[in-house]
Amino acid sequence: MKTHLISGGCGFVGRNMVQRLSSDPNNRVIFVDDLSVGTHPSTWLNKEQTKKVKDCEFYGDNLIFLERDFRFLLQHMTADENYLSKEYGIEIDQFDDVFHFAAIVGGRAKIDGDPMMVALDLSIDAEFFYWVTRRKPKRVLYPSSSAAYPVDLQSESHAIALSESDIDFKKMGEPDMTYGWSKLTGEYLAMITAKHYDVSVTCIRPFSGYGEDQDLTYPIPAIARRAANKENPFEVWGSGKQGRDFVHIDDVLDCTLLAMDKISDGTAINIGQGQLTSFLEIIDIFTDFAGYKPEIKPLLDKPVGVYSRYCNMDWVKENLGWEPKISIREGMRRVYEKHCSQV
Ligand SMILES: NC(=O)c1ccc[n+]([C@@H]2O[C@H](COP(=O)([O-])OP(=O)(O)OC[C@H]3O[C@@H](n4cnc5c(N)ncnc54)[C@H](O)[C@@H]3O)[C@@H](O)[C@H]2O)c1
């Protein structure tokens, strides 16, 4: 039996990882979330709660949810290695895999609109790596982000497919707002943890992850629903020519788990399709599914972020032998069917 810890386990990536890992009966999964953004497991877990001890909910013996600010839990677990046993009767010698998805993420509106709130990620990550270096789980996954890449490589006049080597701590450009800076700092802490404390750490830089279980506050399902409703004219933030590298959550999880088997020194890898798709192209795909061609209405006062953010997947292909399996059209079709079947 392996015991894994997932922070931010009720958010988009976290709940997909909780479901993936808990489908193996040899895994015990403990997940933590303060539900500031995430949704309670009763809405997505499809399992009955069997026991509750204080703020800790058990879904059978091997699936345990703690509704908590992860920082407070880390402080307790750092101070007392038997904290979970004393507080909740959960016996653990050493965590096997720890996935750290708790973060203040938000979309463009939060990244540009409240950068100091997003900067709290620095405090979550600092507490996290401090605990890791005291209690030494077997393996750690740190999700960085494509936002850690220098923004001057993503402008309209100078956009390239971002390679892992475009982040070099000895020769730096400027990441995207406090979100990018905190992710870059997290990568640095990850590297120090692996090198100086001898813990296996893997960093990933997912590009724009999407999936059918995102709700309508996320851009991809929202565009899908508006297309199903035959919105016309179709509103888009900015010109719509800005592009991202959209990657389906199932591919993100596959690549993440493979990377943890192969990388232990804190090295960060890209996870994307390696393909730039503009928001106009996304609208085109969904309106094609819906069977109409709308007039486009650009909303030029909305925040749009960098012009072009996509990755070079050569390193991952050559060193991990991995490529995404779900094409943009296939992934968008899944989102459309999930969100638009009743429209
Ligand atoms: N989704 C993507 O495409 C993507 C891309 C790049 C990086 N990432 C990174 O992956 C991680 C997960 O992203 P996501 O898309 O699932 O975001 P999300 O917002 O859906 O999930 C984050 C979860 O963390 C929880 N949380 C926030 N602060 C907390 C705290 N102090 N204590 C406990 N829980 C807390 C939230 O309630 C939420 O459920 C983040 O670190 C994010 O930066 C995601």
Q: pTM of the entire structure? A: 0.96
Q: Which of 153-157, 310-314, 328-332 has the lowest mean pLDDT?
A: 153-157
Dist. CA 306 → ligand 1 center (Å): 21
- 343 CB-near residues (< 8 Å, 6+ apart): 225, 228, 229
The structural domain count of the chain equals 2
- 145 vs 248: CA distance, rounded Å: 15
Residues 126 and 253 in one domain: yes
Is 211 touching ligand 1 by the criterion CB < 6 Å? Answer: no
Residues 175 and 229 in one domain: no
Dist. CA 311 → ligand 1 center (Å): 21
- 302 vs 306: CA distance, rounded Å: 13
- 249 CB-near residues (< 8 Å, 6+ apart): 12, 13, 16, 209, 210, 211, 213
> Is the confidence at residue 307, as pLDDT, over 80?
yes
The verdict on residue 300 lying in a domain is yes
Distances (CA, A) of 227 to 47, 265, 327, 338: 33, 44, 20, 13
Where residue 305 sits, what CATH number does that domain have?
3.90.25.10
Residues 231 and 130 in one domain: no
- 117 vs 139: CA distance, rounded Å: 29
Residues 56 and 152 in one domain: yes
Q: pLDDT tens for residues 14-33?
A: 999 999 999 999 999 999 99
The verdict on residue 214 lying in a domain is no
* Residue 214 one-letter amino acid: Q
- 128 vs 52: CA distance, rounded Å: 26
Average pLDDT, the chain: 95
The verdict on residue 304 lying in a domain is yes
pLDDT at 170: 84
Residues 226 and 316 in one domain: yes
Number of other residues whose CB lies within 10 A of the CB of residue 75:
15
The verdict on residue 148 lying in a domain is yes
Residues 199 and 334 in one domain: no
2-7 and 27-33 strand pairing: parallel
The verdict on residue 101 lying in a domain is yes
pLDDT at 107: 81
Q: DSSP state, 97?
A: E
Residues 225 and 265 in one domain: no
Residues 19 and 64 in one domain: yes
Of 6, 13, 45, the one to substitute when testing ligand 1's pocket (max ligand atoms within 8 A of C-beta) is: 13
Q: pLDDT tens for residues 232-283?
A: 999 999 999 999 999 999 999 999 999 999 999 999 999 999 999 999 999 9
Which residue bears the tokens 């969904």?
Answer: 286
For residue 269, give the nearest of 166, 176, 133 by alpha carbon.
166
Which residue bears the tokens 């096997």?
Answer: 96
Dist. CA 294 → ligand 1 center (Å): 34
- 324 vs 254: CA distance, rounded Å: 9
pLDDT at 245: 98
- 141 vs 132: CA distance, rounded Å: 11
Q: DSSP state, 157?
A: S
CB 235 within 8 A of CB 297: yes
Residues 51 and 174 in one domain: yes
Of 43, 105, 110, 246, the one to substitute when testing ligand 1's pocket (max ligand atoms within 8 A of C-beta) is: 105
- 120 vs 111: CA distance, rounded Å: 12
The verdict on residue 91 lying in a domain is yes
343 — pLDDT class (breaks 50, 70, 90): low
pLDDT at 325: 98
Which ligand 1 atom is the nearest neighbour of the CA of 102?
24
Number of other residues whose CB lies within 10 A of the CB of residue 244:
24
The verdict on residue 62 lying in a domain is yes
Is 271 touching ligand 1 by the criterion CB < 6 Å? Answer: no
Where residue 127 sits, what CATH number does that domain have?
3.40.50.720
Dist. CA 186 → ligand 1 center (Å): 14
pLDDT at 340: 83
- The residue contributing the CA closest to ligand 1 atom 1 is 209
Domain that holds residue 257: 2-209+247-271
Residues 189 and 286 in one domain: no
Dist. CA 179 → ligand 1 center (Å): 12
- 128 vs 80: CA distance, rounded Å: 15
The verdict on residue 177 lying in a domain is yes
Residues 176 and 282 in one domain: no
Is 175 touching ligand 1 by the criterion CB < 6 Å? Answer: no
Is 141 touching ligand 1 by the criterion CB < 6 Å? Answer: no
For residue 92, give the nearest of 199, 1, 3 by alpha carbon.
3
CB 261 within 8 A of CB 269: no
Q: pLDDT tens for residues 170-188?
A: 888 899 999 999 999 999 9
What mean pLDDT is predicted for residues 155-159? Answer: 90
Residues 286 and 251 in one domain: no
Is 65 touching ligand 1 by the criterion CB < 6 Å? Answer: no
Q: pLDDT tens for residues 43-79?
A: 999 999 999 999 999 999 899 999 999 999 999 999 9
